[in-house]
């Protein structure tokens, strides 16, 4: 059992850090308003991002940081292993809002090497909600089982990261909201990317537009099947 003293000490330490975070937020907010008064007024009135980012919850993958963006430039949904389950209301509602309300012109699914969710999908069963979520990631393993069985260790992990990203793009290409937007003449584009945490460089893997199916990007990540 955790003692009251241990809990108290931990809470005090956490609150001290939270106070620092709040102070840093106030400093940043003052600087942002001072340096970008017009943009701050525009953001107070509403948002108009052109990109919807579906990324991993990993703490190293904040899209505004890794792409050097400002507030209001990207609409974001993040979950474990940047997954687009066909029946997850969180993802589906975010897609509907991004495409149907915000009218974004691009959806990006960005995975990353060193992803814990991908490692979990290659491992044993997990209990509880986490295990149920990882089962969704395992669908990419099942679809690409033969290729993955030919690889070991880090190569297998990296390959699944790439394949999983492109499977999510494929799913989005069949999404009802996305299909409806295309039928109505939208030029919405889908882009699959991977970030290497060794250098924080993002590399394109695949794209899909209304005119055709999934297209793999030459030189992005490892070669993907046509």
Q: One of 24, 26, 30, 60 is an active-site residue; which one?
A: 60
- Identify the active-site residue in 115, 159, 166, 170: 115
Q: Is residue 112 annotated as a catalytic residue, yes or no? A: yes
DSSP line for 143-192: HTHHHHHT--HHHHHHHHHHHHHHHHHHHHHT-HHHHHHHHTT---EEEE
Could you say which of 58, 77, 110, 206 is catalytic?
A: 58
**Cβ(190)–Cβ(207) below 8 Å:** yes
Answer whether 81's CB lies under 8 Å from 115's CB: yes
Active site residue 115: yes
Beta strands in the chain (DSSP E): 51-56, 74-79, 106-112, 189-196, 201-208, 215-216
Tell the burial category of 152 from Cβ atoms under 10 Å away from its Cβ (0-12, 13-18, 19+).
exposed
Choosing from 77, 112, 159, 171, the catalytic residue is 112
DSSP annotation of 100? I
Would residue 56 show up in a list of annotated catalytic residues for this protein? yes
The answer to whether 166 is a known catalytic residue is no
Which residues belong to the active site? 56, 58, 60, 112, 115
């Amino acid at each position: 059992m955790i003692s009251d003293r241990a809990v108290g000490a931990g809470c005090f330490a956490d609150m001290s850090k939270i106070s620092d975070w709040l102070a840093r937020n106030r400093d940043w907010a003052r600087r942002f308003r001072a340096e970008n008064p017009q943009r701050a007024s525009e953001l107070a009135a509403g948002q108009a991002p052109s990109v919807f980012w579906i990324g991993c919850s990993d703490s190293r993958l904040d899209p505004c940081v890794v792409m050097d963006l400002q507030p209001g430039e990207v609409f974001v949904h993040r979950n474990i292993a940047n997954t687009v389950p066909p029946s997850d209301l969180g993802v589906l509602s975010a897609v509907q809002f991004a495409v149907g309300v915000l009218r974004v012109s691009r959806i990006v699914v960005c995975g990353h090497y060193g992803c814990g969710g991908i490692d979990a999908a290659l491992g044993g069963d997990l209990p509880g909600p986490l295990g149920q979520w990882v089962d969704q990631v395992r669908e990419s393993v099942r679809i690409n089982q033969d290729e993955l069985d030919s690889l070991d260790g880090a190569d297998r992990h990296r390959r699944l990261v790439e394949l999983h990203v492109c499977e999510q793009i494929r799913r989005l290409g069949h999404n009802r909201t996305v299909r409806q937007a295309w039928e109505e003449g939208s030029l919405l584009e889908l882009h699959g990317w991977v970030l290497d945490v060794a250098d924080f460089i993002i590399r394109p893997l695949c794209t899909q537009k209304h005119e055709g199916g999934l297209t793999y990007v030459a030189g992005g990540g490892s070669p993907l099947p046509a």
